[in-house]
Amino acid sequence: MITKPSPVERLLRWREKNPYLFKQKRLAGVRNSQKIKDAMRRTAIQYREQTAATRRTMPMYQKGEQHLRACTWRFRSPNNVIYEFKNLYEFVRNHGDLFDSKDAKWRKTCNTDWCCALRGLAALKPYKSDGSPKRKVKGTWKGWRWYASKDTEEKL
């Protein structure tokens, strides 16, 4: 007695004969599945919220001198006053009165806040974050100048 193969058996035999084609069709089905897209979106949102909550508790990700990218900055203002501080963002936020109101207006691009004063002062730094010198350094920004490091001053 000959039995007719079930649809599952036929599918399994086809998969064995055509592994590459099966993989392509399977991936296309996964890509087009709305259920999978919704599940991935929910997972991504949960992960993003969990990461943000963790970062809010860590001092190195908070605003201020303890931030992980904070470094020492030294500038001479147009009034010939020397400012030395640890975090450029925090300095511009706290001393917005030292700059023109247009330059101290904060904007948001993607995930970062910035203003013209921040970018103008950052361009004056003569070396990169790894300590190597920059190729092009602006000499002044609206009267603000980079003030040499203490090591350089002691050598002179």
Residue 121, Cβ density class (10 Å: 0-12 exposed, 13-18 middle, ≥19 buried): buried
* CA-only gyration radius of the chain, Å: 29
Question: What is the residue extent of each domain of the chain?
Answer: 7-57, 73-155
Cα–Cα distance measured from residue 115 to residue 111, given in angstroms and rounded to the nearest whole number:
14
> What is the per-residue pLDDT for 27?
92
% pLDDT > 70, the chain: 94
Share the mean pLDDT of the chain. 85
Confidence band of 148 (pLDDT split at 50, 70, 90): confident
For residues 44 and 114, which has the higher predicted lDDT (pLDDT)? 44
pLDDT (mean) for 40-67? 87
> What is the per-residue pLDDT for 63?
77
> What is the per-residue pLDDT for 154?
41
Residue 151 pLDDT > 70: no
pLDDT (mean) for 33-61? 90
Residue 155 pLDDT > 50: no
For residues 5 and 43, which has the higher predicted lDDT (pLDDT)? 43
Residue 4 pLDDT > 50: yes
Summarize pLDDT for 121-135 with one digit per residue, the tens: 988 888 877 778 888
pLDDT (mean) for 132-146? 85
For residues 152 and 135, which has the higher predicted lDDT (pLDDT)? 135
Cβ-contact 124, 143 below 8 angstroms:
no
